[in-house]
Amino acid sequence: MTDRGKLAEKVRRALATDGLSDKMWASTSRSRGNRARAVQELGIDVGAMKESVRGLKARAMSDPDLPRKFAEKVEGNGGHVFFAKDGAEAIDYVAGLAKAHGAEVLAKSKSLTSEEIDFDHALEARGVRCVETDLGELIVQMAHERPVHLVMPAAHKSVADVASLVSQSLGKEVPEDPDAILKEVRAYLRPVFLSAKVGVTGANAGIAETGTVVIETNEGNGRLVSAAPDVHVVLIGTEKIVNSWEDAAEVVSAAALSATGQLTTVYVSAFTARSPMGGRSAGRELHVVILDNGRSKMKADGRYAGALDCIRCGACMNVCPTYSVVGGHTFGHIYPGPIGIPWTANVHGVDNAAFSDLCISCGLCKEACPADIDIPMMIAEVKQELVDLHGQPRANRFFAGSETLARLASATAPLSNWSLKPRAARLAMEKVFGVDRRRTLPAFSRRRLRSRLRGVDGGDGSSGKVVYFPDVYADYNDPELGVKAVKMLAALGYEVKVPKLKWSGMPYISYGEVRKAAKVAAYNVKALAGYVQDGYEVVSTEPTAAYMLRDAYLTLAPGEGSRLVAAHSHPFFEFVEPGLGRLNLAPSRGAGAELGFHIPCHDRALTGGGPAVRFLTAAGYKVDIVETGTCCGMGGTFGMKSGTMGYDLSNAVGERLFDLFRGSRCGLACTESSVCAAQIHDGTGLQVLHPLHLVDFSKR
C-alpha cells in the first residue's frame, strides 16, 4: 500500500473511531475560544504581537554564533554544554550521564524536543526508565502512544479513558472523576520526584545574554523535575535560543496566549545556575544539550527557514479543520498539525510528511500563528517535493487544472452542463477523474464576463480607476456576479477595466504545484503592476483571489512588482464600503429577511467578513454570523474529490457548521466564497448566495 493509501486508511479509521472527533473538537474549540476572549478582554494587538515575535526570532536566527554565546554563558555559570548534531548523539550523552550517576529512573518533564528524537524509548532500550510527570504526557505514556497535540498531549482522551488507563497502569480501580484521578497520579509520581537522580526537561527559551533556561508548565512538575534531582538535563533545540530576557518574556507571553488564552502559563521557571538543595550543593549538576538534528539544514533552506520561528504553542492545530476531526496521530508523524508538516519533512524525511495531503489550504494556520509563519506555503513546498518524488494523484491533477477545465466547459456550455447531470456521467467522472458523484458541481456559462460587459457603463473615473479581478468563478461560472461588481464600482464613480489575466492559481498551491503557481503569479503581477503604476487599484469579489494578490504572490513572485500589487489590492466589500453612502441599497429578498452569513477562511485574515456583513445590514437584512471558528471543510476543490480523502473528510469537517445553519432561524445562507457556498448548500439544502446577488442598488 502506498503512503497515500495508508493515510486514507488512517483517516477512515479516525473517522470511524467513536468519539474521537468530538474529543478533538472539544479541546481545540475551547482553546480557540479562550484565545479569542483573552485577545478581546485584554485589548491585545495581535498584529503587533506577531511583528514583535517575528522580529525577535529574526534577530536570533540572523546570528550564527548565538548558540555558542549561550553555551559560553551556561558554562560560565558552572553548567555543562553538549552540542548534539542529531538525536543519537543527544541520547548517548544523557545515557552516559544516567550510567555515571547510577540512575535507573529519569524523572521527565514535557519536552517536544525529546519526542522528536524518540528519547524515552531509546533510553528504555538501554535500561533507563523514563517517567513522564506532565499529566498529559503520562497519560499517553501509559497508553503507549505519542502526544496528539503539542500543548494538549492527551486531547483525544476522555475522563473515562484516563481513568481506565490509570487503573490498568497502577493496578487499582480509579473512579471516573478528575479529582480522584489526580490524587492517584500525585501519589504515583511523588516517589519518582523524590528519588530520581536525574531530571530531564525541555526548554521554552534559552537566553544568550545570561545563559538562562526558561521552562513553562501549568502543573508545576517542571520545577520539581529540574530542582529535586542532583542532575538536571535540559534538551533544547538551537531555534529556542534568543538574545535577551525581553525576548524570552515575549515568547512566553505569546505562547501562553496563543495556546490556551492565558496571559502566562501557571509556572514560568528560569534557571541560570544550579542551586543547593537542602543546604547541599555538592554533586548538583546542570547539563544543557543543544540539539541540531536538521535545524541547520532548515535554516539554510529559504523554503523552510521560517519553521524555526515556531514557539510550540499549537495554535495552528487549534484552527486546522482536518486536524480537529482526525487528530494528531493521523495528522502527524511525531510532530503533529500544520507546523508538523515542514518539521517532519526536514527532521524525519519528506515521505513521513505525506500527511500533508490533509492540508486543505484554508490558510488559518498562518492567521493564528503568533510568529506569523507562512505555514501554508511551506506545506505547499512539501507537497511539491512529494509530487516530484511520487507523482500527482489523478484527482489532484484534475483539479489543479481547474482553469483549463473551466475554459473548456464554458466553451461547450450548455452541453457541458447537461452532460454532467446524468448518473452514469457522474459515475464515470468519479472513476476516471476522482470527482465525487455526490457533490453538486457549478454550472458554466457560455458567455464569459468580458463578453457580457460589452455595452456596460465602465464608469467615469471621478472616484478613481479600478481593475476588477474576477478569478474563475465570476468569469466562467457566474459572470453576472462580475457584471454586478463592475456596475457597482461604476456607480461609485470608478473607471473599471477587466483585462485579460490568468486565474489566481490557488489550486496549484493546494495540490503542491508551486512552480506552476509561481508562473501564474509572475504573469499576473507583471500585468497588474503596470495598471497600478498608472493609478489603478485592484479589486476582487473572490476572497481567495484577494488573498493571493495580497499575500501569496509576495512569496511566489517576490520583488517590487508583487509588493506594489499587494499594497493596492482589495477584497470587494472592503474597497466599496467607504462609498456606499452614495448608493441606494435595497434587499432583493425582502426587507428584514434573516441571513445566515459564513466568513470564508481567506477573508478572515483580510477583513474578518465585517465589510460584507455591514453591506448586507445597510441593505436592510438581519445578518446572523454562523461560524464554528474554522473552515467549512470544502477547502477549494478538496471537498469535490471522491472518497475518504475528499468528500467524506470534507463533510466530517463541515458537519458542525451544517448543524449550526440547521439550528438557526435563517432560511437563506450567504457567503462571499463560491466554494463555501457549494459546501453549505450540499450540507444543508439551503440556497446560498453571494452578497451582491442579495442587494439591488442605484445612485442616490
- Residue range 676-687: average pLDDT? 96
Q: Is domain 3-27+302-391 annotated with CATH 3.40.50? A: no
Same fold yes or no, 45-291 and 583-699: yes
Contacts of 157 (CB under 8 A, 6+ apart): 23, 139, 143, 165
Interval 495-546: pLDDT, tens: 999 999 999 999 999 999 999 999 999 999 999 999 999 999 999 999 999 9
Would you place residue 72 in the very low, low, confident or very high pLDDT band (cuts 50, 70, 90)? very high
Fill in the DSSP letter of residue 455.
T
In 42-188, DSSP assigns E strands to: 80-84, 105-108, 129-132
Nearest to 218 by CA among 287, 152, 161: 152
Using DSSP, state whether 515 is helix, strand or coil: helix
Helix (H, G, I), strand (E, B) or coil at 674: helix
Just give the CATH number of 45-291. 3.40.50.10420
Break the chain into its structural domains and give their ranges: 3-27+302-391, 45-291, 583-699
Does the pLDDT of residue 1 top 80, yes or no? no
As a whole number of angstroms, the distance between CA 204 and CA 219 comes to: 15
pLDDT of 2 higher than 70: no
> Would you place residue 93 in the very low, low, confident or very high pLDDT band (cuts 50, 70, 90)?
very high
Say what the pLDDT of residue 122 is.
Answer: 96
Residue (of 600, 374, 573, 401) closest to 503 by Cα position: 401
Answer whether residue 210 shows pLDDT above 90.
Answer: yes
Q: What is the pLDDT of residue 242?
A: 98
Residue type, 43: G
**pLDDT given for residue 590 in this prediction:** 78
Instruction: Tell me, letter by letter, the H, E, C secondary structure of 78-97.
Output: CCEEEEECCHHHHHHHHHHH
pTM of the entire predicted model: 0.95
Least confident range of 276-280, 591-595, 629-633? 276-280
Starting at the earlier edge strand, list the strands of the sheet with 198-201: 80-84, 285-291, 231-237, 198-201, 105-108, 129-132
Strands 231-237 and 241-242: unpaired
Q: Identify the burial level of 575 via C-beta atoms within 10 angstroms of its C-beta, where 0-12 means exposed, 13-18 middle and 19 or more buried.
A: buried
**Residue 549: exposed, middle, or buried by beta-carbon count in 10 A (0-12, 13-18, 19+)?**
buried
Q: Is the peptide bond before 414 cis (omega within 30 degrees of 0)?
A: yes
Judge contact between 456 and 447, C-beta under 8 A: no
Q: Distance from first CA to last CA of the chain, Å, rounded?
A: 65
On the question of pLDDT at 281 being above 80, the answer is no
Task: Write b or e for each residue in 433-442: b if 16 or more Cβ atoms lie within 10 A of its Cβ, otherwise e.
Answer: bbbbbebebb
Residue 435's φ and ψ, nearest 5 degrees, are -95, 120
Which CATH number among 3.30.410, 1.20.1420, 3.40.50, 3.30.460 corresponds to the domain 583-699?
Answer: 3.40.50
Instruction: Assess whether pLDDT exceeds 80 at residue 214.
Output: yes
Percent of the chain predicted with pLDDT > 70: 99
* Torsion angle (degrees, nearest 10) of CA 183, 188, 191, 195: -140
- Grid coordinates of 77: 555559570
Percent of the chain with pLDDT over 90: 94
Q: How confident is the model at residue 642 (pLDDT cuts 50, 70, 90)?
A: very high
Answer yes or no: are the C-beta atoms of 504 and 532 closer than 8 Å: no
Q: What are phi and psi of 475, to 5 degrees?
A: -100, -50
Could you tell me the pLDDT band of residue 282, with boundaries at 50, 70 and 90? confident
Of 641, 652, 644, 595, nearest to 618 (Cα)? 595
Residues 641 and 435: their CA atoms lie apart, in Å, by 5
Do residues 219 and 134 touch, judged by C-beta distance below 8 A?
yes
